[in-house]
């Protein structure tokens, strides 16, 4: 009898693990992922802004990269903090 109740407990645990997570947990995970993405993009932006170059080609590439990063940040709801 004891072994039967242990099997049921294990089966219940597997069913719970396979069940979809509550919406609150998904929202928290999504928020955390968005925050990580935003932080990563902000660091990339700061690195680009700190670079200095006399090469017009390199400067153009940096400006394009900066515009791309700022566009992605805007999609995440980011605004420039002065």
**22-73 pLDDT tens trace:** 667 788 889 899 999 999 999 999 999 999 999 999 999 999 999 999 999 9
Please tell me the pTM assigned to this model.
Answer: 0.62
Q: Cβ(69)–Cβ(40) under 8 Å?
A: no
Q: Which residue did the predictor score with more confidence, 12 or 20?
A: 12
- Give the whole-angstrom CA distance, residue 45 versus residue 64: 11
User: In b/e form, how buried is each residue of 10-42, taking b as 16+ CB within 10 angstroms?
Assistant: eeeeeeeeeeeeeeeeeeeeeeeeeeeebeebe
Residue 10: pLDDT over 80: no
Residue 18: pLDDT over 90: no
CA atoms within 13 A on the CB side of 63: 7
Contact 45, 66 (CB under 8 A): yes
């Amino acid at each position: 009898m004891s072994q039967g109740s242990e099997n049921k407990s294990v089966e219940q645990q597997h069913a719970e693990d396979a069940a979809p997570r509550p919406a609150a947990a998904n929202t928290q995970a999504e928020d955390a992922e968005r925050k990580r993405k935003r932080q990563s993009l902000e660091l990339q932006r700061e690195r680009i802004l700190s670079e200095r170059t006399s090469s017009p080609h390199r400067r153009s590439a940096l400006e394009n990269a900066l515009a791309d990063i700022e566009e992605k940040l805007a999609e995440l709801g980011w605004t420039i903090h002065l």
